Structure 1
Amino acid sequence: MEKQNLGFVGVGRMGKAMATNLVKAGYRVRVFDCHRLAMDAVAQEGALPTALPELVRESSVILLSLPNPAIVEEVVLGPEGIFAAAWPGQLVIDLSSSTPQSEQKIAAQGKKIGVDFLDAPVSGGVAGAVAANLTIMVGGPTEVVSRAKPVLEVIGKKIVHVGAIGSGQAVKLVNQLLFGVNMVALAEGLNLAEALGLDQSIVYEVVSAGSGNSYAVQTRCPKFIFADNFEPGFSLELAAKDLKLAVSAALEAGQPLLLGALGLQLFEAAKHQGYGAKDISSIYKYLSEHLSPVIKEG
């Protein structure tokens, strides 16, 4: 099948990696970002920097990787946004982290003009985006998901159709809630190990093969915490944003998130101490530097 012309909106660290993989797969990829340097960087990989209206006119499939629901809505529904220039038969795939309600709103507007829409948030961080082994949670009609699969399979290893529009974001919120809370638990566990005089590497060896194991343990101990390397794979400020979305969705659904709310407060406190741009694992460093000494002195 002839490769489609694609548009990619939002080429930060995640978006750049995904757009680059699509270029490598033989797609003609036009990109737009409000930051010119981001477009220039992905242009070096073979993508075509393009103004948004032209990108919409020339692309049969448009993918989005944007920071938050408000920006997604502005880019898609705004007066100079995607739907203002869209044409019937186009497909828009939102890879961003958003909310079910926002995605349902966008899908309803797309239906009025004949544009298909999928919510398809991803998990796996920048490393997963670079390696093209992301997990993608897709919400939308079965026939539209089938149409999108050849594109999604270029950027992800596991593509799961999780339900109707909005379901992808709902699953992503659950996933991010678990990751965030597990990361806080890991940080506390390592600080406890240190307070008890244990070798953290030995604790890791045992826990990673035991019932305390988790994705946080596997991905954040050797390469980040033990290496004293907190450059972001997935930033703490993005983790805080996702936890905030999860807590907000839970409140709307009447479902309290006790650990989620506590985790959010810890991430927000760490942000205010300057850890926001660091990796999510820097919550360990925050707890070590700002809470552990208080406990020891007490």
Structure 2
Amino acid sequence: MSTVLGFVGVGVMGEGMCRNLLQKCGLPVHVADVQAENVARLAAQGAVASSVRALRETAHTVFLSLPSIDQVEEVCLGADPLVAPGGTVKTVVDMSTSDVPRTRALAERLAALGVRFLDAPVARSREAANNGTLLITVGGPADLFESVAPWLRCMGSDVMHCGDVGAGQVVKIMNNMVLLSTVNALAEAMAIAEAAGVDKALLASVLRLGSADSFALKLTGERLATDVFPEKLFPAAYALKDLKLALGLAQASGITATVAQATATLLDAACARGYAMNYYPVIYRLLRKE
């Protein structure tokens, strides 16, 4: 019997990820999401429209792309769980950005039910999700990683095994901590330059030519320069969630993460100002001199 793959959560990032998996893996992909229109778009391209309940009885390996560990735990072991005695699911791959201790606890709970687990959060942009060029950092047993890696490579151009369960999350969270803190520095630089009479678009173009060039600048420079921060990109509320995960790891390690804390404080203020669902470089609006 052919292996059936499942995919839960096909929103901003998950839709492109699932589309690449569907087009490249050569296996049936059954898709579930709380938004029926998201599923319908993929069903039109050959996916099988499904539900978490149906996946429990049809899919063998299920990928999750969800907002946080809260949704991951609910999908896996909630009121109508993906994993239950007698079900077909044997492997769960969480591609969300999730809390590390709770990720490790979930893996243990699933193991008690005979289900193996990988954490495989993704980095880079929505465009990378659509193009299949994500960075995917994976935590879990090496043999399970090797068996799932071909499917992960349908979605990412760089798929890295980082260690045991939770290690993928640690690396992803640190990636986002550095990115978000760098964007904070860029927003500050543009606000200061503008207040000093230098056009921020000019500043962005010159920074690209010097030692301050970075992926963060390429990703967010145009938005910062034009002061356009749309919704349905990576929002400030999600960025704050990721920084809180980083700060939790820092606290558990006895490390004072001063830069990350300053960025989290600014993101928190942006959310309180009504920018929670705007693209996270919107923090610039709190820095500029009005």
For normalisation by structure 2, the TM-score amounts to: 0.93
Partner of residue 225, structure 1: 224
For 1:67 and 1:89, locate their aligned partners in 2 and report how far apart those are by CA, in whole Å: 21
Cα deviations across residues 62-98 of structure 1 (Å, max 9, x unaligned)?
A: 0000111111111112242122256477211000000
AA aligned to 1:248 is: G
For 1:205 and 1:50, locate their aligned partners in 2 and report how far apart those are by CA, in whole Å: 47
Give 1:261 shift: 1.3
Partner of residue 165, structure 1: 165
Contact 2:12 2:233 in 1 (8 A): no
For normalisation by structure 1, the TM-score amounts to: 0.90
Partner of residue 212, structure 1: 212
Give 1:99 shift: 1.6
For 1:196 and 1:30, locate their aligned partners in 2 and report how far apart those are by CA, in whole Å: 55
Cα deviations across residues 195-220 of structure 1 (Å, max 9, x unaligned)?
A: 12123233223322322222221111
AA aligned to 1:18 is: M
Alpha carbons of 1:8 and 1:92: their partners in 2 closer, same or farther (altered >3 Å)? same
Residue 13 of structure 2 aligns to a residue whose secondary structure is helix
Partner of residue 102, structure 2: 102
Alpha carbons of 1:78 and 1:212: their partners in 2 closer, same or farther (altered >3 Å)? same
- Pairing 1:259-270 to 2, within 5 Å after superposition: 259-270=259-270
For 2:29 and 2:286, locate their aligned partners in 1 and report how far apart those are by CA, in whole Å: 40
Partner of residue 273, structure 1: 273
The gaps in structure 2 that reach 5 residues or longer are: none
Partner of residue 296, structure 1: none
For 1:127 and 1:7, locate their aligned partners in 2 and report how far apart those are by CA, in whole Å: 22
Give 1:135 shift: 0.1
For 1:114 and 1:84, locate their aligned partners in 2 and report how far apart those are by CA, in whole Å: 10
AA aligned to 1:111 is: A
Partner of residue 253, structure 1: 253
The gaps in structure 1 that reach 5 residues or longer are: 294-298
Give 1:227 shift: 4.0
Cα deviations across residues 165-215 of structure 1 (Å, max 9, x unaligned)?
A: 000111111111111111111000011111121232332233223222222
Contact 2:30 2:47 in 1 (8 A): yes
Alpha carbons of 1:160 and 1:154: their partners in 2 closer, same or farther (altered >3 Å)? same
Partner of residue 124, structure 1: 124
Give 1:114 shift: 2.2
AA aligned to 1:155 is: M
Contact 1:8 1:64 in 2 (8 A): yes
Deviates more, 1:138-147 or 1:87-96: 87-96
For 1:279 and 1:51, locate their aligned partners in 2 and report how far apart those are by CA, in whole Å: 30
Deviates more, 1:161-170 or 1:206-215: 206-215
Pairwise CA RMSD of aligned residues? 1.9
Residue 226 of structure 1 aligns to a residue whose secondary structure is helix
Partner of residue 21, structure 2: 22
Alpha carbons of 1:276 and 1:86: their partners in 2 closer, same or farther (altered >3 Å)? farther
AA aligned to 1:99 is: D
AA aligned to 2:8 is: V
For 1:16 and 1:86, locate their aligned partners in 2 and report how far apart those are by CA, in whole Å: 29
Partner of residue 133, structure 1: 133
Contact 1:88 1:115 in 2 (8 A): no
For 2:20 and 2:2, locate their aligned partners in 1 and report how far apart those are by CA, in whole Å: 14
Residue 283 of structure 1 aligns to a residue whose secondary structure is helix
- Pairing 1:42-81 to 2, within 5 Å after superposition: 42-81=42-81
| Identity in percent | 33
Contact 2:138 2:163 in 1 (8 A): yes
Alpha carbons of 1:150 and 1:212: their partners in 2 closer, same or farther (altered >3 Å)? same
Contact 2:6 2:61 in 1 (8 A): yes
For 2:212 and 2:86, locate their aligned partners in 1 and report how far apart those are by CA, in whole Å: 49
AA aligned to 1:226 is: A
Residue 229 of structure 2 aligns to a residue whose secondary structure is coil
How many residues align? The count is 288
